[in-house]
């Protein structure tokens, strides 16, 4: 019995020893062998991440001037487990941030690891809150997009939302280039989620976005925007659009959609039906006298907009529709009947197919009968006998109806395709519209006649500019664009952007003849109000009646090229629904002359001759 008892004690002792050694070994394995692994696990449980916002890349003009940059702001948030004086926190935040006290109270008392109270808080206010040292209140640095020139090229540049991501324009197209990579701050907390004081925090630094240099020239954009604003006021027009482009490579120097909107306050509606309400002063005054923008979150504090009778308040849906219309870039998103500027295309097709020469003679009696329709010339008394050169200078519809008939449907469509009119231009801003043409098999005599002088088709202004550029630049169909190069300051690297070019299949004789005809329009014909002494300017006027016919609403336009013998810049203006005199040669051509008088010396283009 004693032997059995001793044996039991010995077995128990050995078992205890084995278990002890096992536990020691296991502890050694966990504490030493797996220390790094479990250290990471513990840190994951105890760590709280706080984002460090990355600065968005700047948008620079052709000369390096900042058109879009960043302004330091802050994000205010609370951590429930760390708040010691909730009522005081609620009082301070609701007062300093000008927020509803009940809404702040809900967020402060919400049991969450982190609750955002407000973003885009002005740095002065944020610093004031930080200095109060309220436990549980976090003040994190952030950035807000800032546009130094306010309304300049607003529908091209675009803007960002509260998350600092692009919403429209170049801000959207180049989002991946401009957007940086946020950093992170890691802080340790205890089991209750309260940050442990005097513990080292580690961080992953943010990576700023790359800068984007674009082809818009600040000065040229200002000249064009001022001119558009002025003519809109004078003619009480619905809108005015101006595009200036380098015909040789497609770089867009300026694109105006008047009325523009304030990029620093993009959700406040601009009254587009009243020309006097569009812009209160010119862009130069705005640039010189700009005050600090209100950094409060205007997306959430928009004032109610009233309809024209000032009695019915707009619904949120109506506001959004108006905002979308206000943000719309009509130079690329809207099609129109180009009218007589399209005669450049018809003339190019006819000359290329050898269906007409500049000396061919025609007769205009004020109208031309096509099947069962009588189609009139803008000069109802007729131009009489005239050469094709004179018909082009006079913008005579009967001449072009006959030229279109000579050229034929198949050849016309062939050149529409060659000149890129059946495709989008590929411009690097979102929302580009497609052209609208009859199906070739459906084009009969009447359709061919109206198409020949720019009716019964619809294209975008940029499509027209691109097609005409190929006529005067040596026969190259370029891709209109804004993006020029990407600049990475962190990597000290510059990447030039490239765009597709292809042949428009034009012969040198046709190009030379077209340049001569375009110069004659300005020197001797209907575009003479665009003439500038000493410069060789080419161009074409247009006055197109809007659909439906008979409403008395027109688009007056002029397309100018300078210098015509060696084109460096093209400009197209469209004045939508001008009041009073509406002829393109009378009201649109002088605007391009004013713009050219400013920009040609600025571009270093010397006088061709002195009179």
Return the active site residues.
340
Residue carrying the six token digits 């109208």: 367
Distance CA 281, CA 258 (A): 13
Going by their DSSP bridges, the two strands 483-488 and 202-204 should be labelled as unpaired
Distance CA 543, CA 340 (A): 7
Asked if 554 contacts 546 with a C-beta cutoff of 8 angstroms, the reply is yes
Tokens encoding 398: 């009967």
Residue carrying the six token digits 């009447």: 446
Q: What is the CA radius of gyration of the chain?
A: 34
Tokens encoding 96: 């300093």
Q: Which of 180, 76, 62, 61 is nearest to 119 (CA)?
A: 76
Q: Which of 130, 129, 136, 134 is nearest to 192 (CA)?
A: 136
DSSP states of 472-506 as a string? HTTSEE---BSEEEEEETTTTEEEE-----EE---
Contacts of 327 (CB under 8 A, 6+ apart): 155, 168, 261, 266
Alpha helices in 35-120 (DSSP H): 35-46, 86-96, 101-108
Tokens encoding 559: 């397309």
Asked if 549 contacts 456 with a C-beta cutoff of 8 angstroms, the reply is no
């Amino acid at each position: 019995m004693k032997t059995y008892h001793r044996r039991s004690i010995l077995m128990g002792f050995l078992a205890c020893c084995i278990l002890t050694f096992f536990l020691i070994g296991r502890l050694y394995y966990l504490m030493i062998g797996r220390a790094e692994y479990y250290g990471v696990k513990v840190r994951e449980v105890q760590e709280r991440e706080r984002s460090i916002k990355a600065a968005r890349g700047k948008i620079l003009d052709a000369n390096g001037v900042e058109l879009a940059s960043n302004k330091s702001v802050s994000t205010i948030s609370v951590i429930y487990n760390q708040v010691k004086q909730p009522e005081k926190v609620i009082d301070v935040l609701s007062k300093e941030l000008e927020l509803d006290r009940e809404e702040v109270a809900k967020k402060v008392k919400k049991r969450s690891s982190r609750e955002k109270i407000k973003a885009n808080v002005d740095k002065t206010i944020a610093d004031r809150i930080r200095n109060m040292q309220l436990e549980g209140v976090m003040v994190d640095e952030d950035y807000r997009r800032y546009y130094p020139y306010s309304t300049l090229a607003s529908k091209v540049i675009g803007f960002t939302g509260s998350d600092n991501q692009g919403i429209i324009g170049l801000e959207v197209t180049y989002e991946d280039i401009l957007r940086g990579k946020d950093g992170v701050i890691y802080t340790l907390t205890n089991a209750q989620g309260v940050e442990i004081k005097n513990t080292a925090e580690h961080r992953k630094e943010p990576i700023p976005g790359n800068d984007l240099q674009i082809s818009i020239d600040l000065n040229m954009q200002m000249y064009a925007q001022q001119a558009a604003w002025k003519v809109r006021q004078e003619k009480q027009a619905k809108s005015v659009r101006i595009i200036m482009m380098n015909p040789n490579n497609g770089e867009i120097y300026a694109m105006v959609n008047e009325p523009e909107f304030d990029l620093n306050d993009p959700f406040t509606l601009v009254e587009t039906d009243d020309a006097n309400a569009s812009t209160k002063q010119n862009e130069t005054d705005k640039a010189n006298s700009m005050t600090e923008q209100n950094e409060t979150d205007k997306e959430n504090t928009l004032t109610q907009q009233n309809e024209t009778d000032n009695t019915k308040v707009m619904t949120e849906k109506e506001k959004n529709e108006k905002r979308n219309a206000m943000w719309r870039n009509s130079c690329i998103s809207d099609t129109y009947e180009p009218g007589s500027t399209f005669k450049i295309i018809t003339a190019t097709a006819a000359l290329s197919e050898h269906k007409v020469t500049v000396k061919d003679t025609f007769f205009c009696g004020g109208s031309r009968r096509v099947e069962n329709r009588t189609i009139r010339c803008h000069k109802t008394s007729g131009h009489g006998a005239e050469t094709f050169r004179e018909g082009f200078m006079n913008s005579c519809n009967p001449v072009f109806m006959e030229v279109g008939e000579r050229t034929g449907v198949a050849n016309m469509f062939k050149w529409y395709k060659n000149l890129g009119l059946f495709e989008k231009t590929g411009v690097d801003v979102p929302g580009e519209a497609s052209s609208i043409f009859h199906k070739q098999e459906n084009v009969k005599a009447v359709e061919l006649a109206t198409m020949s002088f720019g009716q019964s088709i619809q294209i975008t202004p940029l499509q027209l500019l691109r097609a005409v550029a190929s006529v005067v630049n040596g026969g190259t169909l370029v891709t209109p664009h804004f993006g020029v190069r990407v600049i990475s300051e962190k990597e000290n690297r510059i990447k030039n952007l490239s765009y597709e070019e292809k042949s428009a299949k034009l012969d040198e004789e046709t190009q030379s003849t077209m340049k001569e005809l375009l110069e004659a329009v300005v020197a001797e014909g209907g575009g003479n109000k665009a003439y500038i002494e000493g410069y060789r300017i080419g161009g074409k006027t247009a006055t197109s009646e809007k659909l439906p016919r008979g409403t008395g609403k027109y688009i007056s336009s002029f397309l100018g090229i300078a210098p015509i013998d060696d084109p460096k810049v093209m400009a197209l203006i469209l004045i939508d629904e001008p009041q009073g005199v509406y002829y393109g040669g009378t009201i649109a051509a002088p605007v391009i002359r004013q713009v050219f008088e400013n920009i040609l010396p600025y571009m270093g283009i010397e006088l061709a001759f002195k009179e």
